[in-house]
Amino acid sequence: MQEFKVPSSKSISNRLLIIKYLSQSKEEIHNISTADDTSLMKELLTQIEESPNDIFFCHNAGTVTRFLISLLALKKGIWRIDGDLNMRKRPIIPLIDVLKELGAEINYIEENDELPIKITGGKLIRAKTINIDSSLSSQFISSLLLISPYIKEGLKIELKEEIVSMPYIDMTISLIKLFGAIIEKQYNKITVSYSPYTFKETLVENDWSSACFAYEKLCIFKGGEIFINNLYPNSLQPDSTAKEYFSLLGIETKFKNNGVELSYNHKLISKEKELEFDINPCPDIFPSLVISSLFSGKKVSFKGIKSLEYKESNRIKSMLEGLQQIGANVSLEEDKFIINGFSKQVNEDIIIKTYDDHRIAMAFAIASFKFPNIEIDNKDCVSKSFPMFWESCYS
């Protein structure tokens, strides 16, 4: 059985790094992600202690940027945060507005409503119930929750109905509880008391988002067996729902030997001619699931796509362009992304423009097993989340 090596979860790793930093613990995080985003998070947390009043440059790392904004609003000092041109265009306004409600002093340095910003930290003291627009990113709420055990008067968040990636918020809550903070969620309200973390030695599980490219590979070949280590049925990761989604396309998932065994099983394929996937809770599996659906012989619709516009690239646009290049029958109808097999055969060389988006690069790289005329314009961008992707892809 082929082994497909995936990195550890950067979503969990980045949250653990914030929790460990706040706890001032020396305990180890084992199997921490080696992805660029996590390396950047570690570097910037070290920079807080070694280079106060410096500029924290976050490149195009949304999680790092948003988590750091709240952390520096909590910590005394004068801080500046910036990012590259893509990060400057990604949403941060709802998070900054709420932090200001809680007493933070944050100012835009150049243009209103985008990076760079200046934070005068150490002023989060107000106790109140807050509302935050999380229709664009769940990271706003996760960012607030991670620091909330250190707000002296606690924090209450009232969730609005339209929340993207709610399972990522649940992941944050679970990790906060795991390390001793007092947090309670009832219906649409989250309450956190002042309760500093007690960090302990921990092991990070491997990344379900990256595992999706193994599922994609089996969907394309319609056969084979793959083993992935360190994945579990009770995962905190929202993208573990991939096992249910991909089962409708014929991929069987069995948990064995501290990991998963994946195999193609045509008996599992849904009898429905048309499928619909809601990717609101798990937007990162969208690129791999779209390519897989292309080879399914079914019409497949994807709803809950709004947040895809605000990822490392506009993933709706990026996927649409790439799919049209390889001859896919793809369309947008209202708030749905629809794919229905191929409309033409393309024989000429194709260069997929990734817009420096790691997941676009990886999804089309797997597609190149069937389309050897595909070239990826920036192969190195995969290091953002999956440094060993090319090794795993061709093993």
Catalytic residues: 284
Quote the CA–CA distance of 149 and 276 in Å, as a whole number: 39
CA angle at 194 for the pair 192 and 196, rounded to the nearest 5°:
105
Q: Is 16 left (phi over 0), alpha (psi -120 to 50) or beta?
A: alpha
Quickly count: other Cβ atoms within 10 Å of residue 89's Cβ: 13
Question: What's the first-to-final CA gap in the chain, in angstroms?
Answer: 11
What pairs with residue 34 in β-bridges? none
CA separation for the pair 99, 146 (Å, rounded)? 13
Cα dist from 384 to 34, 81, 194, whole Å: 9, 19, 34
Q: Are the CB atoms for 385 and 357 separated by under 8 Å?
A: no
In angstroms, rounded to a whole number, what is the distance separating the alpha carbons of residues 33 and 310?
23
